Amino acid sequence: MKKKWILLLLITISFTNLAAQDALYPNTFPLGDVRITAGPFKHACDLNVKVLLQYDTDRLLAPFLREAGLPKKAETYGNWEKDGLDGHIGGHYLSALAIHYAATGNQECKKRMDYMVSEFARVQQANGDGSICGFPNSKKFAEEIRKGNVGIVWNYWVAWYNMHKTYAGLRDAWLYGKNEKAKKIFLKFCDWGVDVISNLDDRQMERMLDNEFGGMNEVYADAWQMTGNPKYLDTAKRFSHKQIFDSMTRRIDNLDNKHANTQVPKAVGYQRVAELNSKTASDYNEFMTAAEFFWETVVFHRSLSLGGNSRGEHFPEAGKCSDYMHERQGPESCNTNNMLKLTEGLFRIHPKVEYADFYERALYNHILSTQHPEHGGYVYFTPACPSHYRVYSAPGEAMWCCVGTGMENHGKYGQFIYTHDTVDNALYVNLFIPSELNWKEKKIKIVQETDFPNEEGTTLTVNPSKATQFKLLIRYPSWVEQGKMQVVCDGVDYAKNAQPGSYIAIDRQWSKGDVVEIKTPMTVRIEELPNVPNAISIMRGPILLGARTGTENMPGLIAGGGRWEHIAHGSLVSLFDVPYIIGKEVIF
């Protein structure tokens, strides 16, 4: 009897440990073990919880009940939720509840998350075949795909993209929210998807995937990791879309004029397959190269100084980047949400500073800025044309894709501050955000205190329960000049011979109260718009500088439910009328 109890206890413990981010992302601390203690990221997360709770769960679930033939409990929302993309926000919302519950422990988020999972279970049962769809005529969609009529995708508004949000929501309810039921529903839904495409040959798959399909390859890679069942790996590969994949594996950038956020999640899927695949698998290098090359080409050749990309939702040709100066529809928030996912994934495979540098840039300058700091509305486009403005969502009105990813973004700020490498017995400090890490496995607490980026540095206090050996790795950002970084512990400066763009290691025995003082002096520098050298940004350290230029002429600042209200339609300010800088060094 005693043995049984012990066994049961062990099973319970391993179960609990599994259902946190390290279940899929082994170097990542559970969000609940990293507490942000002050500053704009804490403010953004707390505000976002309040915004999330202004949405009505039953209204978000209504499209799913309708498609399953169940009696309705509430009316569906308007805007994109009744224009054919019905249900996409429901999936995002489930992810957001799970993430914010994990990050803050908010019980209302948990209650709503559990309720949504049980409603999805009811929908799945009513459908009888494992599906959970919110878009109109979803049963007809599946019937036609089964028959090989893949052209049907164009009669729908990105059906697979929409379903991917539900898949991801269920995965996240399990991954972040520890809801075991969500995992079962997720896998049953995965089986339905495997079955729906089972009759398609490679040509039919390729034609179907010409239509935006979100990160379907990513969620099937997750299902493979969760179960070890190779049918999910096979399906992840089938969702690769050769048009992009083959080009990326050959390191050829064929992204000109392509819809940007259609492509980024594909690369997230390539990365996940590479991460989980055996290094000896015959196609390991292909998936790895596709993911790495996609990241390189987008980050180094197609991103603006804020870390975002796309104009009018598309990647411009190299010669057309000057369009950014006149375009209302600048970088889209969803793209950066997905680029951060890709960056985290690549970092798990190769923990390089260039990944962390990009992450920091995109997090501070784009993602954090896409939330209004007072009312918490979300942003779709961030125009790069001088003196233009951005439009914000209002809860329950705007139902854009970027509202969906926006709901998730602000709960995840604790995910990449610290990562660990158990093989190397190392802790990475990637971001300078005031926070407390509870490294449970090692019984160590790390306190980071800083007012970064107002303060040019940060302080770490290490508190192990008993003296412990491990390697602390601190990012030497590429924006700190050589010889300027300081990492001082016990009177020794560990940064002395280090290079920008590397991790500075302190490998020692740590005792309670050990302090590491880090100095990251910032310089002011200019960065050019890709291929447009006479259009520049001014950067201080990782931060893109801006200027207040007035609040006049901003019609539609808070969007209503109209179809095109996510765009800042107000008139553009002539480049001759915007404020300008006169300096000795910069001549136009």
List of residues contacting Zn ion (CB under 5 A) = 332, 334, 401-402
Q: What is the token pair recorded at 250? A: 């050959």
Give dist(CA 290, CA 73) in Å, integer: 45
Q: Between 268 and 401, whose beta carbon lies closer to Zn ion?
A: 401
Say how many C-beta atoms besides its own lie within 10 A of residue 480's C-beta.
Answer: 24
Q: Between 335 and 448, whose beta carbon lies closer to Zn ion?
A: 335
Residues forming beta bridges with residue 503, ordered by sequence position: 475
Q: What is the token pair recorded at 457? A: 């540095």
Q: Between 401 and 407, whose beta carbon lies closer to Zn ion?
A: 401
Smallest gap from residue 316 Cβ to Zn ion (A): 17
Smallest gap from residue 391 Cβ to Zn ion (A): 13
Q: Between 334 and 399, whose beta carbon lies closer to Zn ion?
A: 334
Q: CB-hemisphere CA count at 13 Å for 23?
A: 24
Say how many C-beta atoms besides its own lie within 10 A of residue 320's C-beta.
Answer: 15
Give dist(CA 49, CA 51) in Å, integer: 5
Give dist(CA 144, CA 159) in Å, integer: 13
Q: Between 397 and 493, whose beta carbon lies closer to Zn ion?
A: 397
Smallest gap from residue 558 Cβ to Zn ion (A): 18
Q: Which of the 8 DSSP states describes residue 303?
A: B
Give dist(CA 554, CA 570) in Å, integer: 6
Strands 543-544 and 532-540: antiparallel
Say how many C-beta atoms besides its own lie within 10 A of residue 234's C-beta.
Answer: 12
Q: Between 22 and 212, whose beta carbon lies closer to Zn ion?
A: 212
Smallest gap from residue 337 Cβ to Zn ion (A): 8
Q: What are the φ and ψ backbone dihedral angles of 379, each rounded to 5 degrees?
A: -110, 140
Smallest gap from residue 2 Cβ to Zn ion (A): 55
Q: Between 277 and 370, whose beta carbon lies closer to Zn ion?
A: 370
Q: What is the token pair recorded at 346? A: 């690549």
Q: What is the token pair recorded at 265? A: 């999640």
**Residue sitting closest to Zn ion (CB):** 334
Q: Between 223 and 401, whose beta carbon lies closer to Zn ion?
A: 401
Q: What is the token pair recorded at 166? A: 């539900």
Q: Between 399 and 402, whose beta carbon lies closer to Zn ion?
A: 402
Q: What are the φ and ψ backbone dihedral angles of 384, each rounded to 5 degrees?
A: -100, 5
Q: Between 168 and 402, whose beta carbon lies closer to Zn ion?
A: 402
Smallest gap from residue 406 Cβ to Zn ion (A): 8
Q: Which of the 8 DSSP states describes residue 36?
A: E
Q: CB-hemisphere CA count at 13 Å for 56?
A: 12
- C-alpha torsion angle, residues 243, 244, 246, 250 (rounded to 10): 140
Smallest gap from residue 333 Cβ to Zn ion (A): 6
Q: What are the φ and ψ backbone dihedral angles of 445, each rounded to 5 degrees?
A: -115, 135
Q: What is the token pair recorded at 473? A: 């790795």
Smallest gap from residue 48 Cβ to Zn ion (A): 17
Under 8 Å between Cβ of 405 and 168: no
